[in-house]
Amino acid sequence: MLHTRIFQFNPLGTNCMVLWADGSRSCTVVDPGMSSDEGERELLGFLSSEGLTPDAILLTHGHFDHVWGVERLLARYPVPVYMNRADRGILEDGASAFRGMQSMKVLRHDFPTVDVADGDTLTSGGVEWKVIGTPGHTPGGVCYWSQENNLLISGDTLFAGSIGRTDLQGGDYDALMASIKEKLLNLPGETDVLPGHGQPTSIAREGMYNPFLEPFNEPLEEE
């Protein structure tokens, strides 16, 4: 059995997830986006109360709202941080990806990361995760799939009833649509989906009802 706890952090409501297998005292933290001392206390307090120790941080992509609290967590738990290398530039210059949002405090990050790529597998929190490369929202966007637990962590690639935006630096609409239709929608329909924002959903529900995945939204064909 897989246990999951979802926190919503920072002004953009980013979903930070803690996941661990039944009987495991180690856990995985995905996209720790806490931007305040209060958020840090909430996450660390939960880990302490449950007797959990992170053994890895998984990043779905490098946007600042998904990595805001990485340094805070690393200060307490110096664990590997996994991310696709194509998002390194976005990670190091978060402000460039969100021009027009100067009113928000966007931090630059330079913590070390361990590269992951499409098809890789890693084990954390007693769970095996397969990396699915899903460029489009960012060049290095990835999802993490646990086949055993029928669970997909989709980051900002796929949402309940929506898809990731592609108007930011490095965004590519055609690449995003191809990532979703060729990789995610081919997963078993009963796969639960935990997105980077908003409510959980499933592959079957999005394949049937997501208005952004209708046939008229197909990527452009090359001439």
Helix, strand or coil for residue 58?
Answer: strand
Domains contained in the chain, number: 1
- In terms of pLDDT, which residue wins out, 132 or 214? 132
Mean pLDDT over 24-42 rounds to: 96
Given this model, what pLDDT does residue 222 score?
Answer: 59
To the nearest whole number, what is the mean pLDDT of the chain? 92
Q: Is residue 203, in this structure, part of any structural domain at all?
A: yes
Tell me if 206 is assigned to some domain: yes
**Tens-place pLDDT, residues 62-88:** 999 999 999 999 999 999 999 999 999
Tell me, what CATH number does 34's domain have?
Answer: 3.60.15.10
**Is 222 inside a domain boundary?**
no
Range of the domain at 49: 2-87+118-217
With respect to residue 100, please indicate whether it lies within any of the assigned structural domains: no
Single-letter amino acid code for the residue at 100 = G
Position 200 in a domain: yes
pLDDT computed for residue 101 by the predictor: 55
Residue 110 lies in a domain: no
Tell me phi and psi for residue 130, to 5 degrees. Answer: -100, 135
Average pLDDT in the 181-188 region?
Answer: 97
CA–CA distances in Å: residue 218 to residues 56, 179, 213: 36, 12, 8
74 close to 81: Cβ distance less than 8 angstroms = yes
Residues in the chain: 223
Find the mean pLDDT for residues 134-142.
98
Do the domain assignments include residue 191? yes
125/127 Cα distance (integer angstroms):
5
> 204 with 158: CB under 8 angstroms?
no
More confident residue, 171 or 107: 171
Say yes or no to pLDDT of 97 above 90.
no
The rounded distance, in Å, linking the Cα atoms of 134 and 183 is 8
Confirm whether 103 is domain-assigned.
no
Tokens 């995985």, residue?
28
Is residue 34 pLDDT above 90, yes or no?
Answer: yes
